[in-house]
């Protein structure tokens, strides 16, 4: 390969990556298209990087690092550089405006929280960053929507199940819901049929047993299975 050909390929790859980055301005559209967010909590260093890489190779395009993970901001910054053009990296467990500011300054492309703080939604919106706040009741859902959230994290759902989504979707069908907690490969279709638009996946996707064992090939295969299942929902 000549130097000119090599430079041409490099320019093409940079151009393709830039197109992905530029299209990431509206993260909610990617959430609704990809349907899966991988939630990382408690993993650090090489272990976190290797696991995230395995999931991304398996087809996961949205990866969240929770801010109650040790060194989360450094991981967030590192992942933005390492996985540029391959995945969209967000911050989770964003509880207040101070945390939102630090996450955005570290490169977060979207914010996710277990709670609703309208100030966080407004702060991020002013900076062109989507926030998917945690809600549970219809009142919280309407408040979050009016504050400017484009999708909501319905959490925790483990003890409530698909029927709860179906009930709240009755009067609030215009609000996209990311079901989080209790979703697995066996019931994801039931959540989808009940009205979920996307899924926040922690331990069911980010498998600690394979990560601890360093079995990243198995983790990649598992991610591919999840992605295929999510994309098959209709």
Q: What are phi and psi of 91, to 5 degrees?
A: -110, 135
Chain segment 58-98, per-residue pLDDT in tens: 999 999 999 999 999 999 999 999 999 999 999 999 999 99
Domain that holds residue 141: 27-232
- The 10s digit of each residue's pLDDT in 12-44 is 343 334 333 333 358 999 999 999 999 999 999
- Domain count for the chain, please give it: 1
**Proportion of the chain above pLDDT 70, given as a percent:** 89
pLDDT at residue number 18: 39
Residue 1 counted as domain residue = no
Is residue 17, in this structure, part of any structural domain at all?
no
Q: Quick one: which H or E segment has residue 112?
A: strand 110-112
Q: Is the pLDDT confidence value at 3 over 60?
A: no
Residue 84 lies in a domain: yes
What mean pLDDT do residues 115-143 have?
A: 97
Q: What is the CATH number of the domain that holds 226?
A: 3.20.20.70
Residue 68 lies in a domain: yes
Q: What are 30's two structure tokens?
A: 């990617």
The structure tokens 């549970």 sit at 136
pLDDT, residue 25, reads: 52
pLDDT value of residue 1: 43
- Does 163 map to a domain? yes
Q: Residue 2 and residue 32: Cα distance in Å, rounded?
A: 42
Segment holding 91, helix H or strand E: strand 88-92
């Amino acid at each position: 390969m000549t130097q000119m050909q090599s430079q041409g390929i490099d320019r093409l790859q940079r151009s393709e990556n830039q197109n992905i980055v530029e299209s990431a301005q509206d993260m909610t559209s990617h959430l609704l298209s990809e349907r899966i967010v991988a939630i990382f909590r408690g993993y650090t260093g090489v272990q976190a990087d290797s696991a995230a890489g395995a999931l991304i190779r398996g087809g996961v395009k949205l990866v969240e690092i929770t801010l109650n993970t040790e060194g989360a901001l450094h991981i967030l910054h590192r992942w933005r550089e390492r996985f540029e053009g391959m995945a969209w990296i967000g911050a989770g467990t964003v509880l207040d405006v101070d945390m939102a500011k630090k996450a955005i300054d570290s490169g977060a492309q979207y914010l996710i929280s277990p709670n609703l703080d309208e100030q966080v939604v407004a702060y991020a919106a002013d900076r062109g960053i989507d926030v998917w706040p945690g809600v549970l009741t219809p009142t919280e859902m309407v408040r979050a929507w009016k504050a400017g959230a484009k999708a909501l994290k319905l959490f925790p759902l483990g003890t409530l199940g698909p029927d709860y989504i179906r009930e709240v979707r009755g009067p609030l069908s215009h609000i996209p819901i990311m079901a989080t907690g209790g979703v697995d490969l066996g019931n994801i279709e039931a959540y989808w049929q009940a009205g979920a638009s996307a899924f926040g996946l922690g331990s069911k996707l980010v498998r600690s047993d394979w990560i601890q064992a360093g079995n990243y090939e198995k983790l990649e295969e598992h991610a591919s299975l999840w992605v295929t299942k999510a994309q098959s929902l209709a």
